[in-house]
Chain A
Amino acid sequence: MSTGVLEFLTVFVLAAFVGNEVISRVPSILHTPLMSGSNAIHGIILVGTILIMGEARGTVQITLAFFAVILATLNIVGGFVVTDRMLEMFKAKPAARAAKPDGDDGSGDAAPGGAK
């Protein structure tokens, strides 16, 4: 195994820990946006498809790379747009209807820790 591989392996292992650490703090109400958002993030494969198109030679390689770029663009663009649409609905909600008729207040808001 060359040192180059080891370097990338190091990055991989550290990224796995970071991913776990950052994500374990997401409240359950945001799980759907999280799934969608992380789905958009792996759309960064677009970078890979662009690089590979640069190196592709001949009809077969170029055709495959062409489709790869289309698919990756769908992933990244669609992913971010749909996530944004979801999150749009979360903004400034509590303030918007703060003055509601009194009902079941007092018992705190429905925040994290629901899913057991």
Chain B
Amino acid sequence: MTLNTWIDLVYLVAAIGFILALKGLSSPKHARNGNLLAAAAAAVAVGFTFAYPEVRAHTLNLVLTLVAMVVGATIAVPAARLIKMTAIPQMVAIFNGVGGGAAALVSIVVFLIEAPGKPAVYRIAEVLFGVLVGCVSFAGSAIAFAKLQELMTGRPVTYPAQQVINGVVAVIIVGLAIGTLVTGSVPLLVATAVLSLVLGVIFVLPIGGADVPVLISLLNSFTGLAVAASGFTLDNNLLIIAGTLVGASGILLTRMMSKAMGRSLANVLFSAFGSVVTATGGADGSGETRTVKSGTPEDIGVLLAYARKVAIIPGYGLAVAQAQHTLRELADLLMERGVEVFYAIHPVAGRMPGHMNVLLAEANVPYDELKEMDEANPEMATTDVALVVGANDTVNPAAKNAPGSPIYGMPIINADQAANIVFLKRSMRPGFAGIDNELLFDDKTTLLFGDAKDTLTKLVSAVKNA
């Protein structure tokens, strides 16, 4: 066997490793090993890539490669280690974006090496696909990061004739790409890349903060496809397989996520959530004058301590306050008193499906105390107290009874069926989706304002004294 055949064989083994890794992720027991397996497969594949004579032919290039890898790793490891668990969605966004950027750069360099001046060749089409999709993913992820990191408004950014303008930009890009394909012109390629970056930005701008996770999942899938395109360009099966696996999984996950929100993917991407929101907000009218009932920690502590059954409904506010450990302390305390406690987890609680499970696992909450929405809802009618901690949209009854509301149709946790509802909230500000919550004004509802960690700490001592 030649050297290249050996390398291809290693790539095949690595590809199998990736497939098994994804399979491992299907159970909590094997997930971690799955990830380690994927990392090992990737390390071996990258290592053997250096066996190609072409890679080692020029010392300068080889040295630069190694320098770049060291630089990348030096930035990535601390960033990934030190990031707070609550910030994981934006971290995934940024790591996804750089992957897309790398794929686009690979395609651009291939073009510069092969294409200038030559007539259209089949591989140039793949190159252009890689540039286009990679650039959209890169720019889109950057905006998604900015939205989640609150560097810019989480509200949808809209302007007149938005969809028309975006459509025109997309058409121009296709035109430029065809032009590049026919002429092999470098300036046209640059124009294609730049406009693709613009498209990535304007595609993401109108998507509201609450929908950004769906978007990240979609962009993750895009990057996978861009990597697969690079695989075609470089005649590399490993890139094709890995990229396609991610492309397929990303699409599937994206659909699951939009389903959990009760909306179609097209609706998430093109409906400009926020403009509808303001419309309904205005129509509701009544607004400001209505009063809410707020309670003291002592009142609520007594309410909890003498309840038979308490449902805890955690949301992103819990995560922001880093209060998951305090919450567990409160739950344990109540259970010691004989109160039946369970956590009702909405599929999109937090900012990604499963995000809340990750955060509660961090606080050592056992699995059997977590109930998924479908399992929790039948229990709500017999629940004495629904304790809503930093959640809002996922318990908003507007999803069930206000057909005009942008979240209408989204499955929610039926906190409204519980005998008492307690909201721990920072303020009266609406949730991530930007919609008022009728439940806050309900007679059964008591509010306790403040940072979730502070209020939970106060509740713990109130329950102890009760």
A3 and B341 CA atoms in complex are apart in Å by 62
Q: Which residues of chain A are within 8 angstroms of B339 by Cβ–Cβ distance?
A: 103
Q: Which residues of chain A are within 8 angstroms of B246 by Cβ–Cβ distance?
A: 19, 38-39, 41-42
Stretch at the interface among B291-299, B347-355, B420-428, B439-447: B347-355
Q: What number of B residues sit within 8 Å (CB to CB) of A?
A: 128
B380 to chain A, nearest CB (A): 13
Q: Which residues of chain A are within 8 angstroms of B65 by Cβ–Cβ distance?
A: 50, 53-54, 69
Stretch at the interface among B19-27, B281-289, B389-397: B19-27
A5 and B235 CA atoms in complex are apart in Å by 9
Complex: chain A residue closest to B222, CB-CB: A42
Stretch at the interface among B145-153, B200-208, B224-232: B224-232
Chain A: interface size category: 35 or more
Whether A94 and B230, one on each chain, are in contact in the complex, defined by CB atoms closer than 8 angstroms, is: no
Whether A80 and B39, one on each chain, are in contact in the complex, defined by CB atoms closer than 8 angstroms, is: yes
- Name the interface residues of A21-51: CB closer than 8 Å to any CB of B: 22-51
A92 to chain B, nearest CB (A): 9
Whether A114 and B240, one on each chain, are in contact in the complex, defined by CB atoms closer than 8 angstroms, is: no
Known: A33-B358, A51-B234. A114 touches B50 (CB 8 A): no
Flag whether B318 is at the interface (Cβ < 8 A): no
A36 and B64 CA atoms in complex are apart in Å by 28
Q: Which residues of chain A are within 8 angstroms of B336 by Cβ–Cβ distance?
A: 101
Known: A12-B228, A26-B26, A114-B345. A56 touches B61 (CB 8 A): yes
Complex: chain B residue closest to A68, CB-CB: B105
Whether B340 and A104, one on each chain, are in contact in the complex, defined by CB atoms closer than 8 angstroms, is: yes
Whether B102 and A71, one on each chain, are in contact in the complex, defined by CB atoms closer than 8 angstroms, is: yes
Known: A68-B106, A96-B364. A40 touches B231 (CB 8 A): no
Whether B58 and A54, one on each chain, are in contact in the complex, defined by CB atoms closer than 8 angstroms, is: yes
Q: Which residues of chain B are within 8 angstroms of A47 by Cβ–Cβ distance?
A: 45-46, 49, 236, 238-239
Known: A52-B106, A73-B71, A73-B76. A36 touches B88 (CB 8 A): yes
Whether B368 and A87, one on each chain, are in contact in the complex, defined by CB atoms closer than 8 angstroms, is: no
Stretch at the interface among B28-36, B157-165, B270-278, B453-461: B28-36
Whether B357 and A29, one on each chain, are in contact in the complex, defined by CB atoms closer than 8 angstroms, is: yes
Flag whether B91 is at the interface (Cβ < 8 A): yes
Whether A48 and B227, one on each chain, are in contact in the complex, defined by CB atoms closer than 8 angstroms, is: yes
Known: A90-B361, A94-B367, A107-B375. A27 touches B101 (CB 8 A): no
Whether A110 and B372, one on each chain, are in contact in the complex, defined by CB atoms closer than 8 angstroms, is: yes
Flag whether B108 is at the interface (Cβ < 8 A): yes
A91 to chain B, nearest CB (A): 6
Complex: chain A residue closest to B216, CB-CB: A35
Whether A45 and B83, one on each chain, are in contact in the complex, defined by CB atoms closer than 8 angstroms, is: no
B17 to chain A, nearest CB (A): 10
Whether B335 and A93, one on each chain, are in contact in the complex, defined by CB atoms closer than 8 angstroms, is: no
Q: Which residues of chain B are within 8 angstroms of A75 by Cβ–Cβ distance?
A: 95-96, 98-99, 102
Whether B335 and A101, one on each chain, are in contact in the complex, defined by CB atoms closer than 8 angstroms, is: yes
Of the candidates A1, A30, A91, A101, which one forms a contact with B122 in the assembled complex, judged by CB atoms under 8 Å apart? A1
Whether B21 and A41, one on each chain, are in contact in the complex, defined by CB atoms closer than 8 angstroms, is: yes
A73 to chain B, nearest CB (A): 3
Known: A66-B68, A80-B38, A103-B335. A30 touches B31 (CB 8 A): yes
Q: Which residues of chain B are within 8 angstroms of A105 by Cβ–Cβ distance?
A: 368
Flag whether B80 is at the interface (Cβ < 8 A): yes
**16 A-B contact pairs sorted by A residue (CB < 8 Å):** A8-B232, A22-B249, A31-B253, A32-B88, A44-B45, A51-B236, A54-B52, A64-B105, A67-B68, A68-B109, A84-B32, A84-B35, A89-B361, A103-B342, A104-B309, A116-B373
Q: Taking beta carbons and an 8 Å cutoff, which residues of A are in contact with B?
A: 1-2, 4-5, 8, 11-12, 15-20, 22-57, 60-62, 64-91, 93-94, 96-98, 100-101, 103-105, 107-111, 113-116
Q: Taking beta carbons and an 8 Å cutoff, which residues of B are in contact with A?
A: 14, 18-19, 21-23, 25-28, 31-32, 34-36, 38-39, 42, 45-46, 49-50, 52, 54-58, 60-62, 64-65, 67-69, 71-73, 75-77, 79-81, 83, 85, 88, 91-92, 95-96, 98-99, 101-103, 105-106, 108-110, 112-113, 122, 216-217, 220, 223-224, 227-228, 230-232, 234-250, 252-253, 256-257, 259-260, 309, 332, 335-336, 339-342, 345, 347, 352-355, 357-358, 361-362, 364, 366-375, 411
8 A-B pairs with least C-beta separation: A73-B72, A114-B372, A19-B248, A78-B76, A69-B68, A68-B105, A75-B99, A15-B244
Q: Given known contacts A38-B249, A54-B56, what 12 new A-B pairs fall within 8 Å (CB)? A: A15-B228, A22-B19, A29-B370, A46-B69, A51-B55, A78-B95, A79-B80, A80-B38, A80-B39, A80-B42, A110-B345, A116-B260
